[in-house]
Chains A and B, each alone.
Chain A
Amino acid sequence: MQQRRSLLSIPASLLFLLPAGVFVFIFIILPFFWIAAVSFTNRTLTGRTAVDPEYVGLANYLRLFDPDRFLRSGEFGASLVITGQFVFFSAIVGQVLLGLLLAWFFFNRKGWVRETVQTLAILAWIMPDVVVAFAWFAFLDRDAGTLNQILSTLGIGKPDWLINLPLVSVIIFNTWRGTAFSMLLFTSAFGSIPPSHLETAAVAGANTWQRLRDIILPLIRTHIITDLILITLWTFNTFTPFLLTGGGPAFQTELVSIFTYRTAFKFFRFGQGSAVGMIMMLINLVFAIFYLFLLRRQQVKL
């Protein structure tokens, strides 16, 4: 394809980009470097070190990775392990798989059933954080909660979800909360598959499962990777479970986002909090680069 003349000259386009550029610079680029700087100091909110923080080198990092306490409950390492489980089960297994399943289930179907289920999923996704947290608080209540009422009717018993199974609870909660995004993305991806591809496969005698495996999934590979990138990053950084469990009980649901919050804003140790934030960003970066690498390889193949 020929490169067409641009419809907007470079100076004009820079003017168009300026307002958004300023925002992006101040609120996205700058914090990244700022956090790096602060993470090497003992900055706090109040007191002498708020005005005149000292350079402490790697002290904040060394403390996070102190092997004696790294994996102890309520420490950074334990929080990373919890976050890893949370991301794997609620993002990759939960949201992406369930979203794919939903999109596939309603693929080529129309009508009120599809509309209803999709609307319900979207509602769960767009409602305010605190509202869904309350709803789930009620839903999971040991004695009166809807879930246990159903379970006890079925004779399964009444676990105290938020006390005994807190991590399982926030995983199910987060799956419920975010599946709509993947569902919508995959629905749109399925819509972009030319019907003739599937008809050809159907005529050739492929069954539903074979069509999914041989035709649909390969065609939407890039969508899947894009979805995985975004969902992983969002889940890794989400703070919403805090509203349901506060990170507890006994730090059992303390995701790194909550750990950062506790370090930085409960105790106002900004230097320490920044070091955590810095490591979070680096982990995010590794995710993003890994997925981008996959995406590039897929596109070369295609």
Chain B
Amino acid sequence: MASVTFEGVSKHFGSVKAVHDVSFSISDGEFVCLLGPSGCGKTTTLRLIAGLEQATSGRIDIGDREVTYLNPKDRDIGMVFQDYALYPHMTIADNITYPLKVRGLGAAARRKRAEEVATSLQIANLLDRRPGQISGGQQQRTSVARAVVHKPQVFLFDEPLSNLDAKLRLEARSFLKHLQQELGVTAIYVTHDQAEAMALADRIAVMEGGRVVQMGPPLEVYRQPATTFVANFLGSPPMNLLRVRLELTKQQAMLVGETFRLQLPQISERLKGVVSEGEALIAGLRPEHLHMANDSDSWSIAGEVYAIEPLGPEALVTLKVGDSLVTARIFGDEPPKANVGEKAYLLFEPERLHLFKASGERIP
């Protein structure tokens, strides 16, 4: 088991800065998700840890060893690939124990270890089949088995669930979480699915444009997103972001949107010295923090009903507010009854309001 440390690591492909000046430290036994849209550098970061890419600059440590320039085989890692990368011409047993074969372990010892690992992953009955003859979920487990078979110090996962269908994905997700906690091995997991990251990670590193924009425990990142990018990326549906202008008077602060004016009494403290009168800001509201109201209120936004999507335990209500759309998650067995084009109000709790500078940076 080991920690993983990045110090100012960059990886440039020609003029493309895939990973730029990234520093973080992952402690022993921790489960960290690298989260971001495609092209954000998360996979490159993972491949840098694996040694499948070589850093342009910076330093990477695994445990107390510097590994920046080591080959993958000398880094003592196990990796699960997005397409599982199971060798079609080998049996499941041979696939699982390939890392041991390369290390020169005898056939009998390999078979024994294959049975051990396969049993703990519930694929022991498949050992003599070939990858083409087993299901996607089983292939995924085989690929995990191959990654753990030589007891590596660090597990790397490259979107391992993205090739599974929705139902299997949830099952496999619980399984991976359970397995990681049982083995207590440091794990780094790349995904573009925020729910997966929230569910699995001890800490999430959200990446954008080759940089880590925020790193922290899932709920912290969710509750206090550092930028509008993070706010928008976590949560489904994403946070509503509205352009507003700040009006500061001696007593109070006022957020002026296209169709609404919101008074901010007690939180004006936190704005002092950070923002100035007339500044353009972005207000953020999570859909689950919005409720429907019949009348205007000082904490409500008015708009026209744009769409209502019942989902079972909840419904998504989208209002057209000026030129933007605002979505609310309304919980309850009965979806709200309203017609498209009708006037409606969404109410929110002021302490749930997020404020960002126009540049996207969070205002504390």
Contact = CB atoms under 8 A, between A and B. Distances in A.
Do chains A and B directly touch (beta carbons under 8 Å) in the complex? yes
B73 to A, nearest CB: 13
Interface in B27-66: 44, 47, 52-54
Of the candidates A3, A4, A5, the one having the most CB atoms from chain B within 10 angstroms of its own CB is A5
Interface residues of A, number: 4
B14 A5 contact: no
A4 B53 CA distance: 8
A2 B18 contact: yes
Which size class do B's interface residues fall under? under 10
Interface string A137-172: 000000000000000000000000000000000000
A5 B16 contact: no
Contacts of A3: 13-14
B18 A5 contact: no
Contacts of A5: 47, 52-54
Nearest to B39: A2
B209 to A, nearest CB: 14
The B interface, classified by DSSP as helix, strand, loop or mixed, is mixed
A4 B16 CA distance: 12
Nearest to A2: B13
A12 to B, nearest CB: 12
B68 to A, nearest CB: 14
Contacts of A2: 13, 16, 18, 44
Contacts of A4: 53
A5 B16 CA distance: 14
Interface in A77-128: none
Contacts of B18: 2
A2 B47 CA distance: 13
B51 to A, nearest CB: 9
Nearest to B53: A5
A2 B44 CA distance: 10
Interface string A1-33: 011110000000000000000000000000000
Interface string B1-39: 000000000000110101000000000000000000000
B321 to A, nearest CB: 40
B41 to A, nearest CB: 10
Contacts of B52: 5
A198 to B, nearest CB: 30
Contacts of B13: 2-3
B16 to A, nearest CB: 7
Contacts of B44: 2
A183 B79 CA distance: 45
A2 B14 CA distance: 9
A3 B44 CA distance: 11
A188 to B, nearest CB: 23
7 contacts: A2-B16, A2-B44, A3-B13, A3-B14, A5-B47, A5-B52, A5-B53
Sorted from nearest, which 7 A-B pairs have the closest CB atoms? A2-B13, A5-B53, A3-B13, A5-B52, A2-B18, A2-B16, A5-B54
Interface of B: 13-14, 16, 18, 44, 47, 52-54
Given A2-B13, A2-B18, A3-B13, 4 more contacts: A2-B16, A3-B14, A5-B52, A5-B54
